[in-house]
């Protein structure tokens, strides 16, 4: 999905609905209340946030490495 909007930041979120869909893909079922409880159990939300940040850092690093090797280029203002 290419977007022509210029972004100053990227925000990702996991909602109870997202959890319900992920669980359903595994052949199981959670209702809204169970999904909300899952997200709020212990420090799970913080752990997920750290994992998402780690994934983003890895992605940015891999793109920058590809740019250095000539596989990708950084074009300011590109919608890539």
Q: pLDDT per residue over 7-63, tens digit each?
A: 899 899 999 999 999 999 999 999 999 999 999 999 999 999 999 999 999 999 998
Structural domain harbouring 54: 16-67
In degrees, to the nearest 5, what angle opens at C-alpha 59 toward C-alphas 55 and 65? 145
Say yes or no to pLDDT of 76 above 60: no
Q: State the pLDDT at residue 80.
A: 46
Residue 31 lies in a domain: yes
Residue 39 lies in a domain: yes
Q: Round to whole Å and give the CA distance between 64 and 74.
A: 8
Say yes or no to pLDDT of 78 above 60: no
Residue 1 lies in a domain: no
Q: State the pLDDT at residue 32.
A: 97
Q: What is the pTM of this model?
A: 0.68
Residue 32 lies in a domain: yes
Residue 28 lies in a domain: yes
**Domains in the chain, number:** 1
Residue 4 lies in a domain: no
Residue 10 lies in a domain: no
């Amino acid at each position: 999905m290419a977007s022509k909007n210029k972004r100053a930041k990227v925000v990702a979120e996991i909602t109870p609905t997202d959890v319900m869909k992920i669980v359903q893909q595994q052949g199981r079922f959670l209702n809204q209340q169970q999904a909300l409880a899952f997200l709020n159990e212990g420090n799970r939300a913080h752990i997920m946030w750290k994992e998402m940040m780690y994934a983003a850092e890895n992605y940015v690093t891999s793109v920058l490495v590809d740019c250095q090797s000539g596989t990708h280029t950084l074009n300011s203002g590109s919608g890539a």
